[in-house]
Every structure is written in structure tokens, then in C-alpha cells.
Amino acid sequence: MIYIALYILLALFALLDLLKNGHQVKPLVFWASVFLLIFISSIRWNVGTDWYSYHEFFSNIQVYVAHPEANLMERGFTYINYAIASLHLGYTALLSLMAILMIGIKAKVIFEHKQIMMISLFLYYCYYLGDIFGVRQFLAISLTLYSIRFIIDKRFMPFFVTVLVASSIHITAIFFIFSYWIYHIEYSPKLLYSILLLALILGFMDIGGFAVDTALSIVGIDSRVGEKLKIYGEDGMETVQGNPYIAFAIGVAKRALFLPLFIGCQRFIAPAYQSRYTGYLNLLIFGNIIYLLFMISLPVIARLSTGFLLFEIFILGYLVIAVRNKWLRMLAFLLVALFGAFRLYNLIAVYWDLYIPFETIFAPTNIIRE
């Protein structure tokens, strides 16, 4: 299966971050891997979540542009579709452009983390399937990830413009605006634990549902924002399998294991990476607060946290290389790789029929459809 092959390949490449002379070949291996992910994403056909809705949107883009009142997609994403359709390039051209932007922008940021770029690329695949099946939210997340450089340099205007562009692709990106202030704040571990515990309690009390109901009463159920919130709520009920409290409990258990580890090990991070690690941890904590507040009431609203949870892959990478003993470091990587395999399987298993088998545009029937 292609997913297993990619997992094994990227896991082996990730070992280059742990080898003494790995830096000599890492750039070439890294960009070859990125090209492979972009290629696979570009040639897929009739596979992945939201395939039919996105294909239908592209096929009828002229109608949606002419009648914006019927269009629930954001304007930025709409005009990307419109530009490709106007050039008569076909849906595969759109997939290729989206792949280049989604994967390419993330890859550029990951590449800047020289010491952990192969581990981060491997975890990026395990957490998000390397954006092979990326949707518009993942493109928006690529842009918000890129905006981190402006936060570090404390350049608000280019950061603000980047977030606005990202929110024109997917509106949830607008919440990333808070990152500009959250990134640089220094919290004590005790305060972080207290905030997370409070978010857990409020989430269990369904404060997220109350917040959405309040928002609907303000903007009106018939407004565009109200309509989107209503759709998100309906989608959330459909995407939760079984008891939502069980899903919530599983999510909390995972965070109860990882977040104390991330917070407690912060002091072991090398001084050269300490500032970036702390900033990423702040953003990760903020994303988890959003998750805890909304997971029970509106699971789809909890997707607002997706752009923040991306920083977990960098934190795990920094923790692996923070282990000084080479054998213990290898053990740490093995544990991370096993967790990556578990996460990858769960990611695919939720929508197994939409991922298996992996189809490409090169199948004769698919070429005709294109």
C-alpha cells in the first residue's frame, strides 16, 4: 500500500537527523521527498475526503462566481478555482497548484529547521498525510505557518496581511491572529496546567455550545456567518462516531500524556532552540484550549485548533534531538515513529473507504473524466 511505503521511506530518511554526517545529504533527500508528496497529491483522482464536493465546486465555478449568494466557499479559494477553470486546465491542474502551495510552503518552513527537518517532514506525513489529500484549510494553515517568521521578527503588518490572505482561503485562519501576542508570552508551568484544566472543565460543561448559541443570537441565524455555524454544527454531529464524550475522553487522555511531557521537558531544550520551542509550545497550548472548549459541543468548530496543533511535530522533533545519549536518542525516535504509525493508521481508518484504494489520473476511466 502506498501509505505504508511512504511511511517506511520517510521514517528511514528521518534517521538522517540523528546521524553525525546526515547534514551532507539531507537537503537533497528532503526536497526529493517533498517533490514526491507533491506529485502523488497532484495525480490522485476520486480519492480522499471531500473529493466530490470540491470537484463539483470546480466544475460549476462559473455559476458560483456569477451567483455569490449560493457560494459558501471563501473568496480566495473561489478565485483560485476560477483562475484555473478560466484557463481550461482541468481539475488535475488545480490539484497540482494546491499541492505545490500547500506542501511547498510548509516544506520551506520545515526546511528552515535544519536540525530536525527530516523528523518534522516524517511527522508531517504521519499527522496530515503530508497534505496529499489537502483541502482549502490546509492551504490556509500553510500560510499561517509561514507567517511565524513575522511573529519572530515582530513585524505585525506583514503578519496581519498573511493571516488575512489565509482567511480568504479558509475563514478559520483568522483565529491565528492571536498568535502574534501568544507566541512571545512566558508562562510558568503551573499557569499552563491551570489554564488547560480550566478549559477542560468549561469544555465538559459545554461552554463551547453556549458560545456558538450566543454568536448566532448576535449575528442572526439567517446571516452568512450564522449559516456557516449552522452547517458546521450539522457536520460536527455527522463526523462524531459513537458517544462524543468517549471521543472527548480519548482526546483528553492523549493530551494528558503529551502536554505535561512537552511542558516539563522544556528546560532540557538546547539554548539555541529554547525561544522557538517556547513559542511553539505557547501556540500548541492555545490550540488545545480551543479543542477542549469545543470538542464536545461542536467537533467541527474544534478544527479551529488544527493550525495550532501543527506545531506539535516541531516540538516532538526538538525533544528527540534533546536526548544526548545516542542510543537513548534512537529509542526516543523509535517511540515517536511508533506513535506516528498509530496516528497515521487512525487518520486513514476513520475514512477508510475514501482512501482505499488509492486511485490516480492515469487510470483509463479517470483520464476520460478529466
CA–CA dist 40, 37 (Å, integer): 5
Q: Which residues are CB-contacts of 203 (< 8 A; sequence separation ≥ 6)?
A: 248, 292, 293, 294, 295, 296, 297
Residues 49-69, mean pLDDT to the nearest whole number: 91
Going from the C-alpha of 179 to that of each of 182, 281, 282, 304, the distances in angstroms are: 5, 11, 9, 13
Q: Which residues are CB-contacts of 119 (< 8 A; sequence separation ≥ 6)?
A: 14, 17, 316, 317, 320, 321, 333, 336
Chain position carrying cell 519572530: 152
Distance from CA of residue 194 to its chain's centroid?
26
Model pLDDT, residue 249: 73
Q: Which of 175-179, 242-246, 276-280, 333-337 has the lowest mean pLDDT?
A: 242-246
- Which pLDDT tens digit goes with each residue over 161-218? 999 999 999 988 988 999 999 999 988 888 888 888 888 888 777 666 666 566 556 6
Residues 33-41, mean pLDDT to the nearest whole number: 97
Model pLDDT, residue 350: 86
Model pLDDT, residue 214: 67
- Which pLDDT tens digit goes with each residue over 2-28? 999 999 999 999 999 998 887 889 999
What's 291's DSSP letter?
H
Q: Is the dihedral of CA 12, 13, 14, 15 positive or negative?
A: positive
Q: Which of 31-35, 99-103, 234-238 has the lowest mean pLDDT?
A: 234-238
Residues in the chain: 370
Burial (0-12, 13-18, 19+ Cβ within 10 Å), 124: buried
